[in-house]
Amino acid sequence: MGSEKKFITVAELREHNKAGDLWISIQGKVYNVSNWVKEHPGGDTPLLNLAGQDVTDAFLAYHPGTAWQYLDKFFTGYYLEDFKVSEVSNDYRKLYFEIAKMGLFENKGHGTLYCLTCVALMLSIVVYGVLKSESVLVHLVCGMLLGMLWIQSAYIGHDSGHYQVMSSPKYNRVVQLISGNCLTGISIAWWKWTHNAHHIACNSLDNDPDLQHIPVFAVSSKLFNSITSCFYGRKLTFDPVARFLVSYQHFTFYPVMIGGRVNLFIQTFLLLFSTRKVPHRVMNLLGLLVFWTWFPLLVSCLPNWPERVMFVLASFAVTALQHIQFCLNHFSANVYVGLPNGNDWFEKQAYGTIDISCSSWMDWFFGGLQFQLEHHLFPRLPRCQLRNISPVVRDLCKKHNLPYRSLSFWAANASTIRTLKSAAQEARDLTSPVPKNLVWEAVNTHG
């Protein structure tokens, strides 16, 4: 006779919720991933954020079917006794398996090939225009085209980071390094570290790094309480300087976005030169060396300093469109404080995201991220499939009385500015003193 099943309760599972003692459950089976957390390809943050919980929905969202075969070695022998799957989760899982059965996760289309071709073509035009033309107007257009190249290259890096766009993991990593580090100067390691945390804890003020922009921006007055960032491990101090900057954030939003790329460069170097464990650190640094060789060299080929400054500013100004888009998808959505709950995966993504409605011919411009909710629910789904599943996701939200917000680009901008203005007015109305502390939290987040 086989041995009887052993059970633990949800409360008992919740006790194993920290580094060194980290248990999770997937479809009722309990796994001890205390040691695996150090080797997890997605980093330690997703597991630490969902420690001591059932993570079935998040596991489905992030892992291919081949990942199931590796779970048995972590099985504790226990099953979850009193866990109940919500109706929303049941429907989400049914939809996931329907999408998998249709082969949509594997049907990537030719988007990556088209994007790589466009990036190569734009780079050729930029280099030719800088080297062969003496026209100021041509140099200005080349700077703007370089910005568009960076946007499209970032989308390729994003896609290759979420799912395998090439024929093997090795080639996929090469694409990541070229599209991220070599062409844009932004480390794919930094992107993975922050982006995985953002997906798991979407719009959590203390766990989602994409909302932690004190002292420059605050999307909610809850940030005025100087909350501690669980992601960066330090206090996001709302001091007098932060109060002043936030008070005018609805005016400074777009100007800051123009220079936002500088902050990404800084964050990249802060991570790669930190004491944190960084996967493929040397390769990431070598990729950055490539960028910081060709880009300054290209700029130096322009005839004078005014044109060089114009070229750089033009390229940065165009990339501001992408930085703004990232903010539109989340800044005016619902926020919360605390760790994510594995049992309301669908709900958290629905409340924390905003889609941008556009015609299909504009999909290339948004890189698939206009379907932000669809992407958050199924991050491994190729961008060419997101529009196809959008009506189904909309119906599911309607069925469970969840928000499905799809705004035009302009309406999303207006909504974001309203959110920033509302928080700015609250910051101005504060009468209680705030403690003095370090000002540039957003720059020094890595310590």
Give per-residue pLDDT as tens, 308-322: 999 999 999 999 999
Is 326:210 a contact under the CB 8 Å cutoff?
Answer: yes
Q: How many CA atoms lie within 13 A of 134 on its CB side?
A: 0
Ranking 46-50, 353-357, 418-422 by mean pLDDT, the lowest is 46-50
- β-pairing, 21-26 vs 29-32, is antiparallel
pLDDT at residue 1, rounded to an integer: 46
- The DSSP call for residue 338 is S
d(CA 297, CA 37): 41
Q: What rounded mean pLDDT belongs to the chain? A: 91
pLDDT band at 66 (very low <50, low <70, confident <90, very high): confident
- Burial of residue 243, with CB atoms counted within 10 A of its CB: 0-12 exposed, 13-18 middle, 19 or more buried: middle
Rounded Cα distance, 77 and 69, in Å: 16
The one-character DSSP state at 223 is G
Q: Does a structural domain hold residue 76?
A: yes
Sequence-distant (≥ 6) Cβ neighbours of residue 86 within 8 angstroms: 343, 344
Pull the structure tokens for residue 207: 């766990």
Indicate whether 60 belongs to any domain.
Answer: yes
- For the segment 288-317, the average pLDDT, to the nearest whole number, is 97
Query: If you search the block for the tokens 């899982």, which residue do you land on?
Result: 93
CATH code for the domain in which residue 62 is found: 3.10.120.10
Residue 255 lies in a domain: no
| Residue 269 covered by a domain | no
The answer to whether residue 31 sits within a structural domain is yes
Give the whole-angstrom CA distance, residue 192 versus residue 51. 20
Residues in the chain: 447
Is there a domain that residue 427 lies in?
no
Residue 71 is part of which domain span?
A: 6-84
| Whole-angstrom distance, CA of residue 374 vs CA of residue 364 | 16
376 or 343, which is more confident: 376
- What pTM was estimated for this model as a whole? 0.91
Q: What is the rounded CA–CA span in Å between residue 154 and residue 171? A: 17
Distance CA 40, CA 44 (A): 6
Assigned domain for 56 exists: yes
Degrees to nearest 5, angle at CA 244 with 239 and 249: 120
> What is the rounded distance in angstroms from the CA atom of residue 171 to the CA atom of residue 166?
6
**Model pLDDT, residue 109:** 80
In percent, the amount of the chain with pLDDT more than 90 equals 81
In a domain, 381, yes or no: no
Report H helices in 163-239: 169-176, 183-184, 188-200
Q: Compute CA 41 distance to the chain's CA centroid, rounded to the nearest angstrom.
A: 16
> Tell me: the pLDDT tens digits for 46-57?
999 999 999 999
Residue 441 has pLDDT above 50, yes or no: no
* Whether residue 235 has pLDDT greater than 90: yes
Indicate the number of domains in the chain: 1
